[in-house]
Structure 1
Amino acid sequence: MMLKHAIRGVVLAACTAGFASAQAADPTAVENDAGKYFDAEGYPTFNIAEDGTVDFHTYSGFRRFNSECHVCHGPDGVGSTFAPALVESVQDMSYEDFVAVVAGGRENVGSGNQNVMPAFGTNPNIMCYLDDIYIYLRARGEGDLPRGRPAKKEAKSDVFAEMEDSCMG
């Protein structure tokens, strides 16, 4: 089952261009597949223990967001003067739309403004961790994860390490 989930983001990027926007599903984790959590719809989601320990994919998403995305979208996904607050955007878009926009880019022109999201479909530093970035933003958008580096995290699973080695080469 993990293989299905591991390649989901890459496959969806190729299949969802022009996908109609839809509200994100309920983020409650109902399945744990080797340390990666999924909601009832089968989409990647976060799991935060009562003591604040985050699952490793949420932590990885924090790291990847802050190394690749925060320059435009602001610290912790709260937005900037030229890119939207992703903690808000992810609440109003489907997983498929998120994947399509990140992989293929998007240009919004209107009211004298032009906003361009470049395509990152060939950047392994983003695409190999796309689900993790989505999971992190989903946790931030729900208000379940405070700003800043998560203080505690679950250990990296062997499955995650294998996926990372395979994807990054």
Structure 2
Amino acid sequence: MKTIKLLALTAMLCMAAACNDDDLDITRDNGVGPENAGVYNLTKVMVFDPVDFNLDEVANNDLMLESPCYGGSRIVLNEDGTYEYSNNNVFFESETGCSFETIEGTWEIEGSDILMTATSVDVPLTTEHDFNGTEIIIVRNNGTYPTRDAEDNPVYATGTVTYTYTKS
């Protein structure tokens, strides 16, 4: 009987030793984990003054309705606390086109905010954004966005630009 109890105890200890944090479906104190991890796609790019950038004679506050350049923008939050931010924008100098950049870094949740530290840049930068579990909202005060001048030439305007990323 002692042998059976000893074997059972040994088996339980072996199973416990084989488990690690990666096997558990938990979210750490800093919000990093499967509950908040996932793909957040850009669903809105809002500005205060309506813009008719695509010259269809319909001005919109949502720039995603004015340019296909924003399509494909997303933030991927990984369970290990890393992220990849694919940022697509309108770009113009001599002609209008789209620009693309990818930024990598780390993330954590603090209250109702997400702290994102870009580590793939020359100087790591931490930014704080609104987070509610299904949306990441990035507000850029004094941000630039595309519009048109009186002659319909593409120009940049400056103002508050709000980017909403929704978990898919």
Q: Taking structure 1 as the reference length, what is the TM-score of the superposition? A: 0.25
More strand by share: 2
More helix by share: 1
Q: Which has the larger radius of gyration?
A: 2
Q: Taking structure 2 as the reference length, what is the TM-score of the superposition? A: 0.25
